[in-house]
Each structure stands twice: as structure tokens, then as C-alpha cells.
């Protein structure tokens, strides 16, 4: 029973008990929009130390957040989108935006998280299992950008403003630091493996991550962010069978999320956010339909 129906029932009950018609006029609840555009932004590492197509300075990142606030946009979690699609009475803000970070860099915890708290903005971070808490590449010990720990992931998740999700356990490899028969730079089938082996590998990778999420974050990973955005029909089908409710790519564009249409949660497109993206350009992206 929704609120409006409850009020009408109460009003009717009142008229029975007093014998006096007691009609109170209540405004109809606002209709729930059945589809909402959710422009989705892709950040990675935040730093002043160097610049590439996947980094942004702390100053520009804060400017982006300020632009989002000043223009009336509301950042939402992946879970908010899932709820909107699956729950009849769930709403999304008319001017929604989805902020995402890939890879789980320590700078997300040290720089982005305090800024997001300061502005009370929500964001989503997809982590690479083998890199959690590490500043050296697995096996070879080659130095890499530091990543936050599981304790820090839990702290962010418990704040309610950050959603932690899955960016593979070990299918985001650096080819030049790997050896062996199978080098997986992304989560799609390799040309030198059978479909059967691939399906098993993807399922195992997901289940390894699921165990980490269950043990430390006390939840299932329900969203999968494709390394380098690479996906196929086969990978999509496997994830759907595993119960993944949303997949994220790097394809450029906006997303129309539709109530009652789970398909609108798959292959989510994103705008790459880096030092090349001014606040004016960000605003332009947010307005594209």
C-alpha cells in the first residue's frame, strides 16, 4: 500500500467512526518518470605527478565536482540504478549523474573520497582483485601506482556514499609484465583458447572476487566493469548467468535507464574524465541526450 492509499483509507475510517463525512483533499503523488538519462563519468587516478589520458589533478577533479553541484546534478550509485529498474516505486533524480572510478587507486581514497564527503556526493569504484592494497605488480614486483586496501574499501562503502564493485580479480593484466600461455588484458575470450576454457576462466575469476566481496565487504559483486571496456555477447551472457545485474564499458555516450527493463543496465556507456576535460566540456557531456 502506498502513502496516498494509506491516507485515503485513514480518511475513510475517520468518516465511519465519527459518522461525519470527512473528505480531505490530498494532492496526487508526483508520477514516477519511467525512464531517466544517466550520464556516467569515468575517472581513474588523481595526481599532480604526471598526466595521461586517464589522470586528473586534484584541483580539476574538485572543479568537476563543483560544476556538478552548481548545475543541480545528483550523483547516484549503481544500486540506485538497479533499484530504479527493478522496483516499481523507486525514483531517480531527474538530473542524475553516475561518477565512477576504475582500478581502485589509493588516490581515490586519499583525494577523491574526502572531496566527495565534503560535497556529499556519491560515487562508484571498481577494484582489481590482485592489486588490492598493492604498490607492486604481482609476481614481478614491478612498481605500480598504489591501490587502496580492503579496510579502506570497507570504510568507504560503510560511509554510504561509495559503492565498491568488480573490475576482475586477474583479467586486467599488463602484457609486458606477464609470461605464460594465457595473458589476459581483458575479460573477453582469447584467440588461443577454447570457449569451454574461457567460460571456466571467467566464472572462476568472478567467483574469486565474489569470495573476497563476501568475506570483507559482506555483499555480492552485482556490477562488472569491463577492463578497457572490452566485452562480447558471450561475456555478457556469462555474467548474466552469474547473476551480474549491470555491466560497464568505456563506450562514449549517454544511457537511458528504463523502469522494468533490466537490459538498460547492461553495457553502460561512459565519458572519459581526465585533464583534457574542462568543466565546460563536462557540462556539455551532462546535457547530451
**Which parts of this chain interact with Zn ion (CB under 5 A)?**
102-103
Smallest separation, CB 53 to Zn ion (Å):
12
- Min CB(62)–Zn ion separation in Å: 23
- Which residue's CB atom is positioned nearest to Zn ion? 102
DSSP sequence for 178-211:
--SS---SSSSPPTTS-HHHHHHHHHHHHHHHHH
Choose between 44 and 259: whose C-beta lies nearer to Zn ion. 44
Q: How far is the CB of 94 from Zn ion (least distance, A)?
A: 31
User: 78 and 223 in contact (C-beta within 8 Å)?
Assistant: yes
Least Å from the CB of residue 130 to Zn ion: 12
Cβ nearer to Zn ion, comparing 100 with 245: 100
d(CA 29, CA 210): 40
Burial letters 90-120, b for 16+ CB under 10 A, else e:
eebeebbbbbbbbbbbbbbbebbbebbeeee
Strand partners of residue 74: 96
Distance CA 117, CA 156 (A): 10
At its nearest, how many Å lie between Zn ion and the CB of residue 43? Answer: 11
Q: How far is the CB of 156 from Zn ion (least distance, A)?
A: 18
Query: By C-beta, is 11 or 186 nearer to Zn ion?
Result: 186
Q: Phi, psi at residue 42, to the nearest 5°?
A: -110, 110
132-150 per-residue burial string, b: 16 or more CB within 10 A, e: under 16: bebeebeeeeeebbbbbbb
Nearer of residues 85 and 156 to Zn ion, judged by Cβ: 156
Joined together, the cell numbers standing for residue 91 give 525514483
C-beta of 169: minimal distance to Zn ion in Å? 13
Nearer Cβ to Zn ion, position 103 or 134?
103
Give the number of residues written for the chain. 289
Rank residues 85 and 212 by Cβ distance to Zn ion and give the closer one.
212
Whole-angstrom Cα distance, residue 280 to residue 251? 21
Residues near 59 by beta carbon (within 8 Å), at least 6 away in sequence: none
CB closer to Zn ion, 45 vs 122: 45
Amino acid at each position: 500500500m502506498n502513502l496516498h492509499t494509506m491516507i485515503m483509507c485513514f480518511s475513510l475510517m475517520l468518516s465511519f467512526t465519527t459518522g461525519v463525512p470527512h473528505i480531505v483533499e490530498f494532492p496526487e503523488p508526483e508520477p514516477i518518470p519511467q525512464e531517466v538519462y544517466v550520464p556516467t563519468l569515468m575517472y581513474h587516478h588523481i595526481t599532480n605527478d604526471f598526466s595521461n589520458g586517464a589522470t586528473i589533478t586534484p584541483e580539476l577533479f574538485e572543479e568537476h565536482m563543483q560544476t556538478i553541484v552548481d548545475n543541480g546534478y545528483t550523483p547516484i550509485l549503481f544500486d540506485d540504478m538497479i533499484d530504479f529498474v527493478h522496483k516499481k516505486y523507486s525514483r531517480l533524480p531527474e538530473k542524475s549523474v553516475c561518477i565512477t572510478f576504475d582500478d581502485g587507486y589509493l588516490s581515490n581514497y586519499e583525494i577523491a573520497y574526502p572531496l566527495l564527503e565534503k560535497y556529499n556526493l556519491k560515487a562508484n569504484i571498481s577494484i582489481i582483485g590482485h592489486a588490492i592494497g598493492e604498490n607492486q605488480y604481482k609476481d614481478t614486483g614491478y612498481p605500480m601506482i598504489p591501490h587502496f586496501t580492503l579496510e579502506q574499501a570497507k570504510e568507504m562503502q560503510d560511509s554510504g556514499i561509495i559503492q565498491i564493485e568488480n573490475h576482475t580479480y586477474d583479467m586486467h593484466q599488463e602484457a609486458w609484465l606477464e609470461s605464460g600461455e594465457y595473458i589476459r588484458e581483458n575479460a573477453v575470450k582469447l584467440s588461443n583458447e577454447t570457449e569451454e576454457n574461457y567460460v571456466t576462466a571467467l566464472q572462476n575469476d568472478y567467483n574469486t572476487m565474489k569470495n573476497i566481496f563476501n568475506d570483507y565487504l559482506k555483499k555480492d559483486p552485482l556490477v562488472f566493469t569491463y577492463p578497457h571496456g572490452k566485452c562480447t555477447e558471450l561475456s555478457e551472457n556469462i555474467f548474466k548467468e552469474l547473476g551480474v545485474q549491470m555491466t560497464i564499458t568505456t563506450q562514449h555516450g549517454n544511457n537511458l535507464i528504463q523502469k522494468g527493463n533490466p537490459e538498460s543496465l547492461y553495457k553502460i556507456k561512459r565519458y572519459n574524465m581526465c585533464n583534457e576535460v574542462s568543466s565546460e566540456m563536462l557540462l556539455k557531456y551532462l546535457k547530451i541526450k
